Every structure is written in C-alpha cells, then in structure tokens.
Amino acid sequence: MFSSLQNKTVLVTGGAGFIGSNLCEALLQLDVNVRCLDNLETGFIHNIEPFLNHKNFQFIQADIRDLEACQNACYQVDYVLHQAALGSVPRSIKDPITTNAVNVDGFLNMLVASRDQKVKRFVYAASSSTYGDSNILPKKEDEIGTPLSPYAITKYVNELYATIFKNSFNLDTVGLRYFNVFGRKQDPNGAYAAVIPKFVIQLINHESPTINGDGSNSRDFTYIDNVIRMNLLALSTKAESALNQIYNTAVGDRTTLVQLVHSLKKYLSKFDTAIVNVKVIHGPDRLGDIPHSQASIDKAVRLLNYKPTHSFESGLENAVEWYWKQFKS
C-alpha cells in the first residue's frame, strides 16, 4: 500500500521520542531511508537503539532551534515528518518561553529548511489542544475555540505558519491533530508523563493513581498504530485535494478517566489480580485542561481513506501487555 515510499528519504524530527521512534521503525519496515533528528532532551537513545546499525538509518543529534542543523538535516530529503516539540500543557504554563522557542521558533526553522532544501512534503504533528474552549462534540477541523494554554497556542501557530508556507513558497504541508496518543515506548516517568503510562506504572506498583477532578473528563485516546497509519497516508497520498489540510488523528470515540482506570485494572489484573483493589485518588482539576475531547474523523476518512486499525480497548490491551513485559520481566 505504501510502496511509493520505498527508497525515498524521510527525515523524522523528534525521532527518538515516543511517536517519532515508532514512525522510524514503521518506515524502516517499508524500506525507506530514515534520517532521525533529535536533541535527546525528551527523546531517548534506547528508543532507536535497535536501528542504529541499520543500513537505511541515520541519527543526527541536534536541536531544531538551530537553523543550520535543520538545513543540514533536510539536505537531499524527500519528505519530513515533524514530530519534535516540547509537549505538555502544565509544562507550557510553567515555562511558556521555552515551549514557544521549541514549538514555534523550531517549527519555523524546519519549514525554512524544508523550503530551502526543496523538500516535497512536510507532514507535522498538530494537536487537539487547538480546539481550546470549544464545546462542540465531536471536534471538526474547521471549528475551533480559544486556546487554553501556551502549548495550545504554539500548536495553532504551527498550523498558521504551514498555511503561509504553502501560499508563499508552495511547500505542501499536512497537519495531523493528535488526540491523546498512547502505546509502546511512551515514557511513564517524569513530571510531565502522559496519563496512561503514568497510571499503568502506578498500578503495577500498587500505587494509587490520582485523577484530576471527578473523573468525568473524557478523551479520544488514540493508539500509536492509528497515528502511524495517518502519517503514512499523509506522506503517500497522491490526491492534491488531500494536501495542505488539517486532519484529526484519532479513533472518533471518547473515554472518561474513570472508565480508563477501570479498563487498565481489567487488563493489568490478568497479570496481577491484586491490582483490581488499588484505590484511586481524586485531586483538583488541572489548569488549562479541556473537559471533553472527541474527534470527528470524517475528513480523514474522506480525503485520506483512513480507517483506525485499533479501538481504544484493543490498543490499551496491547499497551498494557507491552508495559508489563518492559517493567516486570
């Protein structure tokens, strides 16, 4: 299906991170030449260690805030998958300057380098946080609200810059608004760990996870394989109408945090029955969080022929098994 990508060269920025390293692996399996750019501040060398000696893989340790490094990384590249960013709403509230420097200045550097080096297509990680205070469900790409955090602002600015680079420089771009991605290789540690890996490790250790608020907040949790598929479809599509668009990258469903914990306990209890009895703590609502998030994937279905490969439950079961093997074997 993706044979058109064979022997092409794809640059994956943030390629040692959670999503980036999974994309590197998928591309290598398709016989693509993969160049990985990462500063290893939030990515990890162990995520790409299996590829370091692969004949089609090249690792560049550099920062997207360095324009020269971006220019060098884009040299003779066919396509860019731009995943590099400083994630986390709470981190952006604590340190908006660094978040802006990485997510806006770094993004602009990558656009400039892609333009200068004649990259054919620039596919980038956008974010569901762009929907901000919009109460409309499901979320549709052309109906957004006011951003609720510095992080959300930076991701919206990315979309605006991408449009300008198409209109001004004819650089084809595709933005993928990720909805709460989870799965293998997602880091469970650190102050800004995502909720699913964090809760998994806490439950494995019989520690009480803390839910922000009453647990009724809901998310369109999206398994990593769905995200990989969307990136590959965005890279390989030949339809002009599919380019220079923004797409929700999700399942099209939503799960509350209470339901999430229930499902985690169900799948983890297959390995350790005591996990069912681990208590849950409720804390205050988190500043900058949106109450509910659910994507309409109609546009991706129509223009990219996207179909999720995994539901939330099937993806969660896979993820739990991966974490158990990693941390209990």
What is the mean pLDDT of the segment spanning 238-267? 96
Q: Name the pTM for this structure.
A: 0.95
Residue 171: the pLDDT is: 98
Side-chain half-sphere exposure of 196, counting CA atoms within 13 A: 32
Over residues 160-171, the mean pLDDT reads 98
What tokens appear for 294 in the block?
Answer: 């659910």
Q: Is 151 a catalytic residue?
A: yes
Q: Is pLDDT of 290 > 80?
A: no
Q: Choose, from 124, 151, 223, 323, the residue flagged as catalytic.
A: 151
Q: How far apart are the first and last CA of the chain?
A: 36
Of 231, 222, 240, nearest to 34 (Cα)? 231
Please tell me whether the peptide bond between 308 and the residue prior to it is cis, using omega within 30 degrees of 0: no
Q: 140: burial class by Cβ within 10 Å (0-12, 13-18, 19+)?
A: middle
For the cut 70, the answer to whether the pLDDT of residue 286 exceeds it is: yes
Measured CA to CA in angstroms, residue 56 lies from 60, 131, 235, 271 at distances of 13, 38, 18, 38
State residue 289's pLDDT score: 72
Q: What is the CA radius of gyration of the chain?
A: 19
User: How far are the Cα atoms of 82, 113, 127, 168, 265 from residue 68, in angstroms, in the given order?
Assistant: 16, 8, 27, 22, 48
Reported confidence tier of residue 329, pLDDT bands at 50, 70, 90: low
Q: For residue 265, is pLDDT > 80?
A: yes
Average pLDDT on 253-273 reads 96
Structure confidence by residue, pLDDT tens digits, 212-251: 888 899 999 999 999 999 999 999 999 999 999 999 999 9
Instruction: Give the C-alpha separation, 123 to 201, whole Å.
Output: 32
The phi, psi pair for 255, rounded to 5°, reads -135, 130
DSSP reduced 3-state for 11: strand
Q: Please check whether residue 37 is in contact with residue 77, taking contact to mean a CB–CB distance below 8 angstroms.
A: no
Go through the domains of the chain in sequence order and give each one's CATH number: 3-180+224-252+291-309 (3.40.50.720)
Cβ atoms of residues 306 and 234 within 8 Å: no
Res. 292 pLDDT band, cuts 50 70 90: confident
Residue range 37-77, pLDDT digits in tens: 999 999 999 999 999 999 999 999 999 999 999 999 999 99
Mean pLDDT of the chain: 95
Distances (CA, A) of 179 to 39, 220, 252, 269, 295: 24, 6, 9, 27, 8
Strand partners, 61: 38
Instruction: Report, as an integer, the average pLDDT of 112-124.
Output: 98
